[in-house]
């Protein structure tokens, strides 16, 4: 049985995804050696990113063609905006980051560029194109969470263990799986040019995923 469209894209980007999973930020999370100041920087930038992510998902809700697709993306928006972000604020408090600090965080150049990519794609493209822009984040985090969980949570830094547990949750993996299925079905109904457009979006988001980890590790100003 031939690989699905999204699996083909994942296979073609295997080297880049391996670089992401081997990044010292990610490995430092797994073994507990990542400096807390670096993680605090990441959490603040991730909050800014989540706001932009929600804006992109809101646009997909409006553009999805079927009611069941609209319903799924609307649930994703609700869960991210009203549940995940509240958990993010609570988790940040455990690291000494106040909600006011989160709200006043200036986006780094990498955060700005990544969010612009998501929102611009969602605004100017189709719903499947917007979903493709979101996919490497959901899929990549699910893979990283599962890999780090399999290796065992770091005993020296239990708060990192909580982060790993969150992204190793099967429900998070199911989110990426649904997006993949949605995009695979959509790709069947488009021509070669449409599939190439989707592939290009996947490649750009994949690059931004690596850049986001790297910017946090460098404490990008």
* Residues belonging to the chain: 221
Average pLDDT over residues 1-5: 87
Asked if pLDDT for residue 83 goes beyond 90, the answer is no
pLDDT band (50, 70, 90) for residue 80? very high
Quickly state the pLDDT bin for 123 (edges 50, 70, 90): very high
Residues above pLDDT 90, as percent of the chain: 89
Question: What does the pLDDT look like over 126-184, one tens digit per residue?
Answer: 999 999 999 999 999 999 999 999 999 898 999 999 999 999 999 999 999 999 999 99
- Residue from 27, 49, 30, 41 nearest 160 by CA: 30
Residues 6+ apart with CB under 8 A from 108: 45, 215, 220, 221
Q: In this model, does residue 87 exceed pLDDT 90?
A: no
Instruction: Please check whether residue 201 is in contact with residue 129, taking contact to mean a CB–CB distance below 8 angstroms.
Output: yes
pLDDT in tens, 9-52: 999 999 999 999 999 999 999 999 999 999 999 999 999 999 99
Report whether 134 contacts 118 (CB < 8 A).
yes
- What pLDDT, on the 0 to 100 scale, is given for residue 153? 87
Tell me: pLDDT of 84 over 90: no
Core vs surface per residue 102-128: b (16+ CB within 10 A) or e: beebebbebbeebbebbbebbeebbbb
pLDDT level of residue 100 (50, 70, 90 thresholds)? very high
Task: Answer yes or no: are the C-beta atoms of 188 and 2 closer than 8 Å.
Answer: no
Cα–Cα distance between 133 and 137 in angstroms, integer?
Answer: 8
Q: Which residues contact 202 (CB under 8 A, 6 or more apart)?
A: 6, 9, 13, 132, 135, 136
Catalytic residue numbers, as ranges:
137, 209
Are 15 and 204 within 8 A, CB to CB? no
Q: Any residues with CB less than 8 A from the CB of 194 and at least 6 apart, and which?
A: 187
Q: What is the pLDDT of residue 95?
A: 87
- Average pLDDT along the chain: 95
pTM: 0.95
Question: What's the confidence (pLDDT) of residue 23?
Answer: 98
Q: Regarding the domain delimited by 5-217, which CATH topology (the fold level of the hierarchy) does it fall under?
A: Heme Oxygenase; Chain A (1.20.910)
| CA separation for the pair 20, 211 (Å, rounded) | 9
């Amino acid at each position: 049985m031939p690989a699905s469209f999204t699996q083909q894209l994942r296979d073609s980007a295997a080297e880049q995804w391996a670089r992401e999973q081997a990044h010292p930020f990610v490995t430092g999370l797994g073994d507990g050696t990542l400096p807390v100041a670096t993680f605090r920087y990441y959490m603040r930038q991730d909050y800014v990113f989540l706001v932009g992510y929600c804006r992109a998902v809101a646009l997909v809700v409006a553009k999805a063609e079927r009611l069941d697709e609209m319903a799924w993306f609307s649930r994703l928006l609700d869960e991210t905006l009203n549940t995940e972000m509240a958990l993010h604020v609570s988790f940040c408090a455990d690291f000494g980051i106040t909600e006011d600090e989160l709200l006043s965080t200036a986006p780094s150049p990498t955060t700005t560029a990544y969010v612009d990519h998501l929102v611009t794609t969602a605004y100017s493209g189709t719903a499947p194109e917007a979903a493709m822009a979101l996919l490497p984040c959901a899929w990549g985090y699910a893979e990283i969470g599962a890999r780090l969980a399999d290796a065992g949570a770091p005993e020296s830094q239990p708060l990192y263990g909580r982060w790993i547990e969150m992204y190793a949750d099967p429900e998070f993996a199911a989110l990426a799986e649904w997006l993949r299925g949605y995009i695979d079905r959509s790709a069947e109904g488009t021509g070669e040019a449409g599939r190439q457009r989707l592939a290009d979006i996947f490649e750009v988001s994949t690059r931004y995923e690596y850049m986001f980890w790297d910017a946090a590790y460098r404490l990008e100003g």
